Structure 1
Amino acid sequence: MTFKKFKLQLIIPLLTFAMIYSWQAHGQDMEELNSGWKCAPIKEVTISGKQLSDTGYDISSWLPATVPGTVLTTLLNNKKIPDPFYGMNNLDIPDIYETGRDHYTYWFVNDFEVSSKKNEQIWLNFRGINYSCDIFLNGNKVNAQPFKGMFLRKSFNITGLLKDKGKNRLAVIVYPPDEVGNPNGGQGGDGIIAKNVSHQYVAGWDWIQPIRDRNTGIWDKVTIEKTGSVNVKNPHLITKVPGERSSDSAIQPDAFLDVAAELENATKKNVEGTLSYELNGETVSKDVTLKANSTTKVQLPEFTIKNPKLWWPNMLGPQNLYSIKLTFKEKKEGISDEENIKFGVREITRKWNDHTRSMQIMVNGKKVFIKGGNWIISDAMLRFTPERYDAEIRFHKDMNLNLIRIWGGALTERPEFYEACDKYGLLVIQDFWISADCNGKWLDPMKLEDQWTRRKYPDDHNLFIESARDMVKMIRNHPSLAIYCGGNEITPPIDIMDALQNEVLPEEDGTRWFITYSNADSMSFNFLGGNGDGPYTIQDTEVFWNHKTWPFNSEVGSVGVGDIQSLKRFIPEENLVPPTFNDSTVDKVWDYHKYIGYEHHIRPYGDAKDAEDFGRKAQLVNYNQYRALMEGFSSHIWDWYTGTIIWKTQNPWTAMRGQMYDYYLDPNACLYGLRKGSEPVHVMYNHTDGMVMAVNNTFDTYHNLMLRIESVDMEGNKELFTQVIVGIEPSSSKKYLSVKNYLDKVAKEKGIFLRLQLLDMNQQPVAENFYWVPDAKGEYSGIKNMPTTSINVEAKKTAKGKIEVKLSQNANQPVAFFNRISVVDKKTGKRVLPVFYDDNYVSVIAEESKTITIDYDPATIDLSNSEIAIEGWNVSNQHIQIQ
């Protein structure tokens, strides 16, 4: 097979994380089987699973396999296929719909050693296989019953199947989804992929091309666990925080903790023992007798937490976390098993807002205006790592968001995702695996079967319910998990819905709000008909300010094309041809990567001369789009809206829409425009009526702030419009005055820059915002012809993992406009990723300065090989040494 040009170097660093990171076991003694795997397609294996799982059978010629991973991941890592994220390489990879399921049916084999002691139980645990499998160990079939379903964990007691000494051989044959679907260009292809209990995007969507193997493989962790006679499983923690709390109070009223767990006695005799944990120097315990070969749920007495340190969402307080070790100790044998559990003390409730006609969320008794982002999945080929999760959730924190919704066409996110959300204070809505597109909400000529048939998907309802119960058990202890959702824009079938509402969630959780579907009336009364969800393209920013949409909108968003460095990561040089205003055609690679038009939004800045110019001007559009989106919604806080969730904030593939950072973790201006519009205390300008106002996203009251409004022309001349004392109450917005008449006058010819500041009594900014206002024709004529200028830059390391970059402008100079700061490799000039900036795309006025703080991981980034790059609109590019 001949492949087109492809590149692996950008993606390999992300893949290697999966093989080298050290996983923190939650059980007493657990080891992950994440290396030493070999694989072969079923067509090349002519012996049975029992024969294959004998170590005497030679597999030395087999392909090294990536586990956790998919078949495509293994083929990519062995350079058997091109990078499907680059160019149009995905077209060169055979699709399972054309090849048949056997093409991607693979055997995976691992030889491992394990030692055991007397009375010790050994468990083989799978956290995710897609889609079904048979398991063999040392010549024995392990799973007596079928193991099917992408979202179902399985645990097998293999004590009696292990060898006394030497290597054991585990052989797993993994079959693709039962129904792979035709990737015909529809949302989820022809919809048949939804007949499985699995994710749906793998057959293609409007933001991704099809995943050719439908993500077949052992895609999540495989572990070997040792316990005594009793295995502690599925611990369940519930915290209760009655009343309304203050996030900054040193003394808090009592909170309460309920702890339960399942205890599996794997022996043929009854076992007596004690389940216990210790917290704040006190022990909570219960003596139990467990019947032979049984699993028993044990509830411990309620514990009172004195003066608790509470967990709060991002920007509203600290994300305090507690740790306990839940231990079962046998009466005669000592500790049998223990689970280490982190949790946050918080209580999430809800209340219907009669004014907005939508639900409002409360955390620890305080109402929280929701500013969220829709999340698909970290990587479309399921290459998950704690490091990548941490970086992506950190970006969401840096956007000043407080919630992430996990879209229903993907999966139940991994515990490592939730750990990052716990750490950074992001609430989570977890959808179950249903979507309107595949599951029959609309007539759709792209779908193979009619609506009535699709409304019954998936084929196996019992498997869906069993998987939902198991996934709830996996994620329920995380303080970030706030809401469950039945499906994306549609409910599951009636019997599944009934089981979720009346059995699974009450029995396995019982504390969280369940939304029947993502835009249900119980969340947001949808009184506007079709003018609700969306838009999904670039909008005139007046839409966000003046056009009322659903009062708790689950999907509203725009675009997110990166700059030239981002584009070059996945577009071949010969295809770096920007779209133009006068030409409706788009380069085939841009089109394949789901480009949405920017042209008439870029035109006010001047038509793009080339791809680099296009990427630069696109950032101006990106910044204004997402700043205006959040400003517009925030301006109507508690009046029109109780929250909004952006569609969407990230891409798991190299698409060109709906992303604040690209697949390679490089932020674009969307992130910083959204960060600005979402900041805790924000001063803003409604360009449609000239109103200057503020929004306070905190629980604090601000008095005696100085509102300062000034304009700056294209030559850098400043004019103070007004300076007045203002205040703003907690969690509210407030209008102050209009600058429309003033701006109509001063911006008429060339446009103008407008700076808004809220200053404290020490004249220090509490909030600052910088707008570029078009001329009377709606064009940025002054910006097009801005005088060039220089800018002074200093960069120094201030602490481990921190850099400060100071930008300053000389007197009698124009504004140094829209500067992007990057950490780059000295030799290649390419950006070092991921790196976190507390602001970016900044503008500096004459005789003033700005300081940008940069966070990086010193374990992965060598500053001796790095420098700071500055790229500005009217400033020559500079590279600065880090002192």
Structure 2
Amino acid sequence: MKHIVQLTEGWHVSHEGRLLQARVPGCVHTDLLAAGLIPDPFLGTNEREVAWVGRRAWTYTRRLDDATCGSTSHERTDLVFEGLDTAARIVLAGQELGRTRNMHRTYRFDVTGLAGELDVTFASAYDEAASVKAQTGERPNVYPEPFQYIRKMAANFGWDWGPTVVTAGMWRPVRLEHWSTARIERVRPLVTVDGTRGRVELRVDLERTASGTGRPLTVHATVAGAAARVDAADNAVTLVLDIPDVRLWWPRGYGEQPLYDVEVTLLDGEGALDGWQRRVGFRSIELDRAADQHGSGFTFVVNGERIFVRGVNWIPDDVLPSRVSPERYRTRLEQTAAANVDLVRVWGGGIYEDDAFYDACDELGLMVWQDFLFACAAYPEEQPLRGEVEAEARDNVVRLMPHPSLVLWNGNNENLWGFRDWDWEQPLAGNSWGEGYYLGLLPRVVAELDPTRAYSAGSPWSGAWDHHPNDPDHGTYHSWEVWNRQDYTEYLKNVPRFVSEFGWQAPAAFATLRRALPGEDLAADSPGMLHHQKADNGNGKLNRGVERHFASPENDFDRWHYLTQVVQARAVATGIEHWRANWPRCAGTIVWQINDCWPVSSWSAIDGDGRLKPLHHELRRVYADRLLTLQPGPDGPELVLDNQATEPWDSDVTLRLMRTDGTLATRVSLGFTVPAREVLRLPAPPEVRPEAGATKEYLVADADGLRTLHLPVRDKEFDYPAPRFDMAVETVGQDRDTVDVVVSAHTLVRDLLLQPDRLAPRATADRGLITLLPGEQTRIRVHGAGGVGANAFRAALFCVEPA
């Protein structure tokens, strides 16, 4: 049987004549941090102090000898690197094994009979990019860094939410594989289902030693009680396993996520030479892009069920990705699922994530939209990049295709749009820019290797050059004019077929800012806050968003911080509520973004320290199966009841016209039934509609614990009463670390928010923004704030106040 030795220990990296202990997997930044030789780039303005690291070459060393390898009688020994970041030269015992130039590939070298010092030298990514640029010529880019010339995580070079921290090192595991006769080179499981009858077609490729060439071998496979066995006279065999009665894998909210173990064993007689194990799920996935009266759609169909996608965009969870453990993936994805998300888009400026990411998505029912790694730039199609792109695509398609959560391969992020709208055509002057990848190479690779899944050329993409790449009536659409230039109410002006990016910024949680900016007097424009705001005029856009709806908080940082969180949550909710109300014409939204890679002001719902922003709680509300909203209609507000649940929604809704003095003007109750996966629109009865421009009355709708409000004017024009409420803190059971904060309102209390991390850095709350009418009470459960006094709880509560 094949014998594997993981090479995690014994590595060193040279720095100014010293050999530092190195961690593998890891990178030079984590090693320098561990040695105390650089400051934490996430704190203050330290990012600038570590910029030199990415502009140097680094050499990692260790010995490979009998003590390392273990005594072996195998014919062949391979040195396998699962991830080298990025341009590396590998030398063993003075013999060059090879050179690499791609972070996103696995590399294998035959080291049979070799022993001695192993050196892995990484060139500066900037030097590698400059070398490729000299060969291919210049290409336009939306950022002033050369990431389009190197197959490396683009976000290492900075983004409008990320720092410039250019890494190098062995960021994924390194191992020795000792084997004889033959090994399993790769397995491609093509998983299909017809009704409840599942099929797994296993395409197995073998590699043989010289002694194994022509030797009769056997490949055996099992799944769900079914077994198949074939003779392997050559190096490619196919096994087909039919399973008569399988349970279907469903996205979360639609059913369960049963997974089945697939095992493949390579045999020489009855002796096992090698094995391969994965988990698969049985489901059908289609992408309906058919033309209709509105244009051409983009609707996911899983197991025959048409789905309104409730999605989020995912970026690398750390700019130093080797630090993201399986446990961290699990935590972040559980947080994502808790927001009622059912799809995660892995964005094209990051990485193909670790298997632990996709395993968690399989188990949690989170569909995965996987970008190929191209973003916001024109990419040369000449060598040496073209061969790297194809090898990278083949490597990762085969690695990820067993995962049932994977539902779409996507060619790029914004590059087809960029070619049309970002003034690229003239400077390109006919040179290649990536179109051949997105419309030629990548769909060919997917069709050959993974024909069970759909491919889309890009996001956004209208499906063909017949339409503008970002045409809202065709395919996928990115909505960024609203954040960049407009008020979030402009989301109400159109109904795209599928919104694959839109979002609104807010700062990180207060405790996250305090940790990241030690000793700084926090202000919206303090040095550290501005350094941790990477978007073009980001603070200007934040302030503009606040001032359109609220009185300016001027020099009150706490108030500014609260209001930016409120506006972020409201902005995203406005878009989702409107687009959900227009299902099935609009078939999904993917919010930019769920997570952060460091502590920063950004579009995220979970900040860089893993704390939930109010947006996370708001996503949980607007992505719930049942959603109640008030939308503008031709004759006034309309009640929209969206039921994405599996059962009909049969209930009553109460509409109240309220006055700001707390009195009730009119009350109406309506019965309704909304079939499963459908939307019902009801005009609000005339007697409960506030007058246009009214500043002292508002409409409230309640149904089954859901609430929505309609104010005729913006908040700063509305005659809010001064908020008055009582607060009590009650211990829950015997756990003194868990309390209920009980708030009793005497007036309208709009968007009440308890910021738990102001009580203690580890504290959490189960609620986000809450609106209370006079006489109402709510309970907010807080964990991790034991021993905190009542005054601190009061200071951590915020709500909308009169202008």
Q: What's the offset of the Cα at 1:363?
A: 0.7
Task: Please give the secondary structure, in 1, of the residue aligned with 2:458.
Answer: coil
2:235 equivalent to 1:286: no
- Write the deviation string for residues 110-157 of structure 1: whole angstroms up to 9, x where unpaired: 6663324434754432111122223344x25362x4333121201234
Q: What's the offset of the Cα at 1:465?
A: 1.1
Looking at structure 2, the residues matched to 83 and 741 of structure 1 have their Cα atoms a distance apart, in angstroms, of: 60
> Please, what TM-score do these two structures have when normalized by structure 2?
0.84
Task: Give the equivalent residue in structure 1 for 2:426.
Answer: none
Task: Please give the secondary structure, in 2, of the residue aligned with 1:471.
Answer: helix
Task: Give the equivalent residue in structure 2 for 1:424.
Answer: 364
Task: Give the equivalent residue in structure 1 for 2:752.
Answer: 818
Looking at structure 1, the residues matched to 790 and 164 of structure 2 have their Cα atoms a distance apart, in angstroms, of: 36
Q: What's the offset of the Cα at 1:260?
A: 2.4
Matches within 5 A, 1:298-697: 298-301=237-240, 303-331=241-269, 334-353=271-290, 354-356=292-294, 357-382=296-321, 383-435=323-375, 437-439=376-378, 456=381, 459-490=384-415, 493=434, 495-497=436-438, 500-501=441-442, 503-522=444-463, 533-535=478-480, 537=483, 540-545=487-492, 547-578=493-524, 588-589=530-531, 591=533, 595-596=538-539, 597-603=541-547, 604-608=549-553, 609-639=555-585, 641-686=586-631, 689-697=636-644
Given that residues 33 and 221 in structure 1 are in contact (C-alpha distance below 8 angstroms), is that contact kept between their aligned partners in structure 2?
yes
Looking at structure 2, the residues matched to 668 and 428 of structure 1 have their Cα atoms a distance apart, in angstroms, of: 23
Q: What's the offset of the Cα at 1:272?
A: 2.9
Looking at structure 1, the residues matched to 6 and 701 of structure 2 have their Cα atoms a distance apart, in angstroms, of: 54
2:91 equivalent to 1:152: no
Looking at structure 1, the residues matched to 663 and 677 of structure 2 have their Cα atoms a distance apart, in angstroms, of: 36
Looking at structure 1, the residues matched to 791 and 637 of structure 2 have their Cα atoms a distance apart, in angstroms, of: 28
Q: What letter is aligned with 1:345? A: F
Task: Give the equivalent residue in structure 1 for 2:428.
Answer: none
- Write the deviation string for residues 832-866 of structure 1: whole angstroms up to 9, x where unpaired: 5xx7x764334556776656789xxxxxxxx8x76
Task: Give the equivalent residue in structure 2 for 1:192.
Answer: 146
- Residue among 795, 799, 802 paired with 2:732: 795
- Evaluate the alpha carbon distance shift between residue 172 and residue 843 of structure 1 in structure 2; reply closer, same or farther with a 3 A threshold: same
Task: Please give the secondary structure, in 2, of the residue aligned with 1:599.
Answer: helix
- Evaluate the alpha carbon distance shift between residue 614 and residue 33 of structure 1 in structure 2; reply closer, same or farther with a 3 A threshold: farther
Task: Please give the secondary structure, in 2, of the residue aligned with 1:673.
Answer: helix
Q: What's the offset of the Cα at 1:717?
A: 5.9
Task: Give the equivalent residue in structure 2 for 1:224.
Answer: 176
Q: What's the offset of the Cα at 1:466?
A: 1.4
Looking at structure 2, the residues matched to 88 and 194 of structure 1 have their Cα atoms a distance apart, in angstroms, of: 26
Task: Please give the secondary structure, in 2, of the residue aligned with 1:113.
Answer: helix
Looking at structure 1, the residues matched to 465 and 722 of structure 2 have their Cα atoms a distance apart, in angstroms, of: 46
Looking at structure 1, the residues matched to 621 and 721 of structure 2 have their Cα atoms a distance apart, in angstroms, of: 24
Task: Give the equivalent residue in structure 2 for 1:85.
Answer: 42
Aligned length: 756
2:121 equivalent to 1:173: yes
Given that residues 701 and 728 in structure 1 are in contact (C-alpha distance below 8 angstroms), is that contact kept between their aligned partners in structure 2?
yes
Task: Please give the secondary structure, in 2, of the residue aligned with 1:789.
Answer: strand
Task: Please give the secondary structure, in 1, of the residue aligned with 2:194.
Answer: coil
Given that residues 819 and 871 in structure 1 are in contact (C-alpha distance below 8 angstroms), is that contact kept between their aligned partners in structure 2?
no
- Evaluate the alpha carbon distance shift between residue 705 and residue 81 of structure 1 in structure 2; reply closer, same or farther with a 3 A threshold: same
2:88 equivalent to 1:133: yes
**Unaligned segments of structure 2, at least 5 residues:** 132-139, 417-432, 798-803
2:645 equivalent to 1:698: yes
Task: Give the equivalent residue in structure 2 for 1:37.
Answer: 11
Task: Please give the secondary structure, in 1, of the residue aligned with 2:520.
Answer: helix
Q: What letter is aligned with 2:620? A: R
- Evaluate the alpha carbon distance shift between residue 790 and residue 71 of structure 1 in structure 2; reply closer, same or farther with a 3 A threshold: same
**Unaligned segments of structure 1, at least 5 residues:** 1-26, 45-60, 163-167, 244-252, 291-295, 440-453, 760-764, 855-862, 879-883
Q: What's the offset of the Cα at 1:711?
A: 6.0
Q: What's the offset of the Cα at 1:575?
A: 4.8
Q: What's the offset of the Cα at 1:30?
A: 4.2
Q: What's the offset of the Cα at 1:267?
A: 4.6
Task: Give the equivalent residue in structure 1 for 2:423.
Answer: none
Given that residues 418 and 480 in structure 1 are in contact (C-alpha distance below 8 angstroms), is that contact kept between their aligned partners in structure 2?
yes
- Write the deviation string for residues 468-520 of structure 1: whole angstroms up to 9, x where unpaired: 11111111111111111222223563554466356422222122211122222
- Evaluate the alpha carbon distance shift between residue 32 and residue 727 of structure 1 in structure 2; reply closer, same or farther with a 3 A threshold: farther
- Evaluate the alpha carbon distance shift between residue 548 and residue 775 of structure 1 in structure 2; reply closer, same or farther with a 3 A threshold: closer
Q: What's the offset of the Cα at 1:551?
A: 1.7
Matches within 5 A, 1:66-81: 66-81=23-38
Task: Please give the secondary structure, in 2, of the residue aligned with 1:155.
Answer: strand
Task: Please give the secondary structure, in 1, of the residue aligned with 2:176.
Answer: strand
Q: What's the offset of the Cα at 1:649?
A: 2.6
Q: What letter is aligned with 1:87? A: G
Looking at structure 1, the residues matched to 2 and 665 of structure 2 have their Cα atoms a distance apart, in angstroms, of: 67
Task: Give the equivalent residue in structure 1 for 2:204.
Answer: 261
Given that residues 532 and 599 in structure 2 are in contact (C-alpha distance below 8 angstroms), is that contact kept between their aligned partners in structure 1?
no
- Residue among 57, 72, 81 paired with 1:104: 57
Looking at structure 2, the residues matched to 422 and 268 of structure 1 have their Cα atoms a distance apart, in angstroms, of: 40
- Evaluate the alpha carbon distance shift between residue 468 and residue 208 of structure 1 in structure 2; reply closer, same or farther with a 3 A threshold: same
Q: What's the offset of the Cα at 1:200?
A: 2.4
Given that residues 654 and 701 in structure 2 are in contact (C-alpha distance below 8 angstroms), is that contact kept between their aligned partners in structure 1?
yes
- Evaluate the alpha carbon distance shift between residue 868 and residue 744 of structure 1 in structure 2; reply closer, same or farther with a 3 A threshold: farther
Q: What letter is aligned with 1:336? A: L
- Write the deviation string for residues 83-109 of structure 1: whole angstroms up to 9, x where unpaired: 222222112223468xxx5x2333343
- Write the deviation string for residues 594-616 of structure 1: whole angstroms up to 9, x where unpaired: 63432244344443242222212
- Evaluate the alpha carbon distance shift between residue 87 and residue 871 of structure 1 in structure 2; reply closer, same or farther with a 3 A threshold: farther
- Residue among 60, 69, 81 paired with 1:114: 69
RMSD value, Cα: 3.8
Looking at structure 2, the residues matched to 188 and 236 of structure 1 have their Cα atoms a distance apart, in angstroms, of: 37
Q: What's the offset of the Cα at 1:362?
A: 0.7
Looking at structure 2, the residues matched to 154 and 866 of structure 1 have their Cα atoms a distance apart, in angstroms, of: 49
Q: What letter is aligned with 2:95? A: K
- Residue among 214, 218, 223 paired with 1:274: 218
Given that residues 262 and 278 in structure 2 are in contact (C-alpha distance below 8 angstroms), is that contact kept between their aligned partners in structure 1?
yes
Q: What letter is aligned with 2:732? A: A
- Residue among 761, 774, 778 paired with 1:830: 761
2:49 equivalent to 1:124: no
Looking at structure 2, the residues matched to 176 and 122 of structure 1 have their Cα atoms a distance apart, in angstroms, of: 30
Given that residues 561 and 618 in structure 1 are in contact (C-alpha distance below 8 angstroms), is that contact kept between their aligned partners in structure 2?
yes
